[in-house]
Structure formats: structure tokens, C-alpha cells
């Protein structure tokens, strides 16, 4: 390793110690976010702003797993591989686990759990990766290194890292069923993100389809013995408040569908939770609905709640805590301060004490608009950071309407003027309200990375406000389906259907909000300032010509940072993989991909050469996108000047 990387690694020792280190050597990538705390910071510095233009494909691996949606759900390729013990481990859209030679991309082994690809998985056919665990007791020839996957059809699988064979002492033939939950439904209850392993305990959440019913499957989080697969504990994110009758309490979900992180030194796992069901009507789940829309810390040894912080009370907007909590240290007033950084679809960022959950940077409850929907009682306040700016717009008024032509601008302004509200916490209404920045806006599962050299948070942010309208059941049954382009469904068990759609111009179809529609943002937490922000990608591939007048793309796939001074990011709807200056945000390099890269990249070093790897497969949801099955590794071209 180069000298600078050694110095950076030593300088980041406190960060890695907080996150537990956990076997992530300087040349490896041992967890989804590299370290247990999910910093996504690599100390490698071979690739720099001065030479990044020399990056070329070193190898490409094709999984062969693509589904176009003609016979079941469509596939997307969202994996972030691990580099552990000299092998790359990844998952395919069909939940197959594959091990590769990291220098050549040659397949070493593959395991196929044979999921039923026709089940109605609400997220499509996707899987974001695996977890790795080295048995600290040793003494096992088989599964001394175990690879854990939570499959799309709700199984926890343990494989031997060297051979890909199922671990025979784990569950039944290396598998444990995860379907033993209240109101389980095949397909509607599934797994898309990797487990996390702390203190020899494998912790797993779940993905649950939105909005179909008030009473969706249970969002339980569970811990299993890493050697045997024995269930050690279960934790329920929400429960009926005292004084609320059972017949008046109908809800579910509040599940942890995105990436988990951990603090092994404190024996904690950090769990980000989503909304209680259904997303847009809370009349049957009165109160704050704790601990939905939260970051909670569980004692991994017992599953007991150590602390919790709720980012949204009584969610009515699908503002999930979609980003993985990030554990690091922050220099405040000259002192190294441990923090857990949380963010959600509102685009707001919170800094919390990892030991207690108390705010490290001030947060205040501010009044927000009430609901005028019969049967609904919105929370009177919501938590806002005091010193940290919101990273996405929180209001949008008719005079701000954007359009690619005069007709679209006028139509967008008129549509906004008809809504009952156009601010971040305006409750859904019978006439329609605007959710800003929207259910796929703000900080989604793309999340953020920590620039350890500059003490900055690097964040993928999207801005795509949506119109949300509640439709009374009798009108819905009479044929009212909302606007022409709306996604509409009955919220069974409630008095209302929901209708939501991105607010777009009727002629050109571009969003009504001004660009950029996606950005990469560097946030200096200590100063409470945005150090830089730059448009991220474009919509050119799916809307030819729009890139000439509008910048930025919805981003689903996050950034990483290296000690070489670079930020790498895919995630956009265009078929590009990009490198930016970590200092200024300037785009320094991009490469054309066979499909969009809706995944988080990773980097490692082997044989004295640094590689950067990205999965490029297109989206499971956006049918206009090209699909692929390519995992591509980039490295410096030694022949380039």
C-alpha cells in the first residue's frame, strides 16, 4: 500500500474501531459499506484525480440472470460485492450467490437457491448482496468463513466461503425459513438487502409491499446464531399503544428493508425502519407509530432496544428511513465525537450519539400542517435538524413551476395551484397534496458515504415530488382511479384508495420541478454547510434531448469515497459510471455502461492493483431502461501515458 494510504488508514483508525473493524483490511471490502459502520470509505489511493482518466475495464462477468417481466417480475441488478479472503462474493437478481477471482473475474463457484421467480415480489427480482463472517473459534474446515444471504423468497442461507457448499450445521442443510411471521404472504414478504453479522449473530430484516392493505405482514427483525441458525431473538418495530382498542389498531410493516449497520464495540446493530402500513392513511394506527420511520439500536446479544430515534412521526408520505445508518467519528469543537448519521426520504440528515441516540447536533420539533381527511390525525410536529440544511427542496409553489415549453409550465403551475398543500409534511388529501421531495426523492437506499479525510458526508439526493390523493372507497369502486398517469391502489381495510404520481408536464413529460432532479452533495456536518453539490447524471437515455436543457437524474445506487481523493457513483438512469473530485465535486471521469448501474460500487486491491467494481443491470421498475447482467471491474490502464 502506498504511504499516503497508510497514513489515511491510521488517521481513520478511530472510525474503523467504532465500526468494529471486523476484518476489513486495507485491500478488502468486508461488508456492504466496507466496514460494519457502513462508512463506504476506502484507504486505497492508487487511483487519484491525476490518473483517473486512465481507468479502463479490467474484466467483465456476466451472471446470465435477466428477467424482462413477461413471465413474472422484472429483474434489476443491485448487488454490491464483498472482497473477503481473496474472493469476490456477489448475488444475482435470482438470488444466486457467486464467488469470483478478484483479479480476473473468473467464476470460482455458484450456489442457486432456486427461488420461485413468478411470485409477486413488489420490488421486482433484486438482491443487494451478502454478509461474511469468519468463525472466531476456528476449528472448522467447512464454513470457517461463512457467506450469508437473505433470499428474495425469505430464506436465510449459509454457505462455505471456499466452496459454496451449504453449511451443514446451519438450520436444515444450510437454510432457515424466514416465513414464520404474522400475516405472511408469499412474494409480498421478501428480502432484498443483506444481513449483518455481529457477535456471532446474523441479523436480518425484510421487505414488505406497500399500500395494499392496512394489515400487512409483520416487520419483525430477527437474530440467528451464526453457527447453528437457531433463532435467538425477535424484535417488533411497532405495537398497539395503551388505550387503543384492538379493533381500532390495524397496521403492519414498519420493516427494515434496507441496509443494516453495526457498532461491534458496543454490541449494537443499527436498524433503519420504514413506514407502518398503509403508507398514506394512518387513521387505523393512531399515535406516532414508534418505532416506524426510525433508527433503532438493538443489543445484538438479546435483541432488546438500546435506544431509538424517530425521523418521521405517524408517516403519511412513505418517508422511509431508507439510507443505512453510518457510524463514524466527527471532529466537533476540537474533540473526536462518535456519531451515527441518519437520513431519510425527506432529504434531512441527523447526527446521533451511538451510545444513547441523543442528538449530537441539535434537533427541534416544529409545527407542521394538520390533516383535513376524515378519520386522520396527523402528527402536530416533526423533527427538523437545527444546524444542518435540508439536502432537497421542502416546498414548491406555482411560481416555481418548470417545463420544457410554455404549455408545460402553465399546466404545471395550474396543477400546483389546485393542490391542498405543497410542502414537505402536507398530509395527503381528497383533493390531492404534493409530497416534497417525494417517496423516491430525498435520500433513498442510495444513502451516503463518509469522506474521512475531509470530514464530509457524500450524499446521493433525488428531487421528484409526487401528487398524492386519497380516493374514498365508494368512489374508487365506482371507477375513480385518480389522474391518467397515476399509480393507484385500494388500501384494503381502510376507507381510502391511494393515487400517486410524479408531477410532470403533459406535453414533454418532464418533471414540473426545476432541475437538477438528482445531485451528489458534500455536507460538512461540523460547519453545518454544504461544501459542494453537483448534478448527478441525466435523463437523456430515457428522454432524448432533455439532457441539453436539464441536468440530474433520479439516483438509486450510492457513492463510495477513497483516500485517493475520489468519489465513485453510479445509480443514475443514464448508462454511466462516474468519478468526482472529493474536494470540489468536479466530474473527472465517466464510462459508458451496458445498462444503468442501480447499485453501490466497491473497491479493493489485489496483486498491487486497485480495482473499482460496479453492477450494471438496469432497473426492475423502470421498463424504459435497457437491461444487462454485467459486473464490471475497472483499473488503471498501465499502457496509458
Is 406 tagged catalytic?
no
24 CA to centre of own chain: 21
Closest CA to 255 of 224, 280, 218: 218
- The CB-side HSE value for 350 (13 A sphere, CA atoms) comes to 30
* Set of cell numbers at residue 146: 461463512
Q: How do strand 326-332 and strand 335-343 relate by DSSP bridges?
A: antiparallel
* Set of cell numbers at residue 582: 472529493
Measured CA to CA, the distance from residue 593 to residue 521 in angstroms comes to: 23
Closest CA to 12 of 45, 54, 43: 43
Which H or E element spans position 4? helix 3-11
Measured CA to CA, the distance from residue 402 to residue 220 in angstroms comes to: 42
Phi, psi of 246 (to 5 degrees): -55, -40
Residue 524 neighbours by CB distance under 10 Å: 16
324 CA to centre of own chain: 6
Q: Evaluate whether 522 touches 458 at the Cβ level (below 8 Å).
A: yes
Candidates 35, 218, 318, 574; catalytic one? 318
What string of DSSP letters covers 212-261? SBSSPPB--EEEEETTT--EEEEE-S--PPTT--GGG----B----S--E
What string of DSSP letters covers 496-563? EEEEEEE-B-TTT--BSSPSPSEEEEEEETTTTEEEEEEE---STTTSTTGGGT-------S-EEEET
Q: Evaluate whether 429 touches 469 at the Cβ level (below 8 Å).
A: yes
- The CB-side HSE value for 226 (13 A sphere, CA atoms) comes to 26
Rounded to 5°, angle at Cα 543 from 540 and 544: 65
Residue 295 neighbours by CB distance under 10 Å: 27
* Set of cell numbers at residue 116: 420461485
* Residues classed as catalytic: 318
Amino acid at each position: 500500500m502506498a504511504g499516503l494510504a497508510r497514513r489515511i488508514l491510521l488517521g481513520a483508525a478511530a472510525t474503523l474501531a467504532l465500526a468494529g473493524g471486523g476484518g476489513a483490511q486495507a485491500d478488502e471490502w468486508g461488508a456492504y459499506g466496507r466496514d460494519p459502520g457502513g462508512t463506504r470509505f476506502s484507504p486505497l489511493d492508487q487511483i487519484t484525480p491525476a490518473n483517473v482518466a486512465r481507468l479502463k475495464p479490467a474484466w467483465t462477468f456476466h451472471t446470465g440472470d435477466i428477467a424482462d417481466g413477461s413471465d413474472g417480475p422484472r429483474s434489476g441488478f443491485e448487488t454490491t460485492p464483498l472482497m473477503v479472503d481473496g474472493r469476490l462474493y456477489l448475488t444475482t437478481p435470482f438470488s444466486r450467490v457467486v464467488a469470483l477471482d478478484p483479479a480476473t473475474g473468473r467464476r470460482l463457484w455458484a450456489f442457486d437457491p432456486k427461488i420461485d421467480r413468478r411470485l409477486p415480489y413488489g420490488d421486482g427480482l433484486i438482491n443487494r448482496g451478502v454478509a461474511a463472517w469468519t468463525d472466531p473459534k476456528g476449528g472448522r474446515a467447512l464454513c470457517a468463513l461463512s457467506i450469508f444471504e437473505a433470499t428474495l423468497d425469505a430464506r436465510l442461507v449459509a454457505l462455505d466461503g471456499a466452496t459454496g457448499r451449504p453449511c451443514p450445521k446451519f438450520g436444515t442443510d444450510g437454510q432457515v425459513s424466514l416465513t414464520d411471521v404474522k400475516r405472511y404472504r408469499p412474494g409480498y414478504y421478501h428480502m432484498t438487502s443483506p444481513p449483518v453479522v455481529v457477535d456471532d449473530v446474523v441479523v436480518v430484516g425484510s421487505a414488505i409491499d406497500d399500500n395494499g392493505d392496512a394489515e400487512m405482514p409483520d416487520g419483525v427483525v430477527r437474530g440467528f446464531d451464526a453457527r447453528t441458525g437457531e433463532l435467538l431473538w425477535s424484535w417488533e418495530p411497532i405495537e398497539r399503544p395503551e388505550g387503543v382498542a384492538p379493533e381500532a389498531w390495524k397496521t403492519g410493516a414498519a420493516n427494515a428493508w434496507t441496509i443494516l449497520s453495526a457498532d461491534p464495540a458496543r454490541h449494537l446493530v443499527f436498524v433503519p425502519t420504514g413506514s407502518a402500513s398503509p403508507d398514506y392513511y394512518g387513521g387505523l394506527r393512531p399515535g406516532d407509530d414508534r418505532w416506524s420511520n426510525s433508527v433503532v439500536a438493538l443489543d445484538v446479544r438479546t435483541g432488546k432496544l438500546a435506544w431509538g430515534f424517530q425521523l418521521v412521526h405517524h408517516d403519511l408520505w412513505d418517508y422511509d428511513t431508507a439510507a443505512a445508518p453510518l457510524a463514524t467519528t466527527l471532529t466537533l469543537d476540537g474533540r473526536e465525537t462518535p456519531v451515527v448519521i441518519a437520513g431519510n426520504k425527506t432529504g434531512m440528515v441527523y447526527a446521533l450519539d451511538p451510545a444513547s441516540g441523543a442528538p449530537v447536533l441539535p434537533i427541534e420539533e416544529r409545527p407542521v400542517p394538520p390533516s383535513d381527511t376524515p378519520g386522520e390525525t396527523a402528527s402536530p410536529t416533526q423533527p427538523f435538524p437545527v444546524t444542518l440544511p435540508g439536502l432537497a427542496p421542502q416546498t414548491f409553489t406555482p411560481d416555481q413551476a418548470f417545463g420544457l415549453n410554455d404549455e408545460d409550465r402553465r399546466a404545471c403551475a395550474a396543477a400546483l395551484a389546485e393542490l391542498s398543500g405543497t410542502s414537505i409534511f402536507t398530509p395527503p388529501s381528497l383533493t390531492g397534496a404534493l409530497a416534497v421531495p417525494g417517496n423516491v426523492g430525498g435520500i433513498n437506499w442510495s444513502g451516503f458515504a463518509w469522506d474521512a479525510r475531509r470530514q464530509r458526508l457524500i450524499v446521493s439526493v433525488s428531487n421528484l415530488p409526487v401528487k398524492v390523493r386519497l380516493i374514498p372507497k365508494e368512489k374508487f369502486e365506482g371507477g375513480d382511479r385518480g389522474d391518467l398517469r397515476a399509480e393507484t391502489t385500494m388500501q384494503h381495510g381502510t376507507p381510502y384508495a391511494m393515487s400517486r404520481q410524479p408531477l410532470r408536464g403533459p406535453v414533454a413529460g418532464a418533471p414540473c420541478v426545476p432541475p437538477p432532479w438528482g445531485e451528489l452533495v458534500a455536507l460538512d456536518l461540523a460547519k453545518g454547510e454544504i461544501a459542494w453539490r453537483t448534478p448527478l447524471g441525466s435523463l437523456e437515455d430515457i428522454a432524448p434531448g432533455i439532457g441539453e436543457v436539464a441536468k440530474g437524474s433520479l439516483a438509486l445506487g450510492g457513492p463510495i469515497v477513497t483516500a485517493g481523493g475520489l468519489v465513485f457513483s453510479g445509480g443514475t438512469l443514464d448508462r454511466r459510471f462516474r468519478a468526482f473530485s472529493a474536494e470540489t465535486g468536479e466530474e473527472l471521469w465517466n464510462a459508458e455502461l451496458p445498462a444503468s448501474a442501480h447499485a453501490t460500487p466497491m473497491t479493493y486491491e489485489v496483486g498491487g492493483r486497485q480495482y473499482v467494481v460496479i453492477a450494471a443491470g438496469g432497473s426492475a421498475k423502470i421498463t424504459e431502461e435497457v437491461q444487462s447482467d454485467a459486473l464490471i471491474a475497472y483499473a488503471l490502464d498501465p499502457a496509458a501515458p
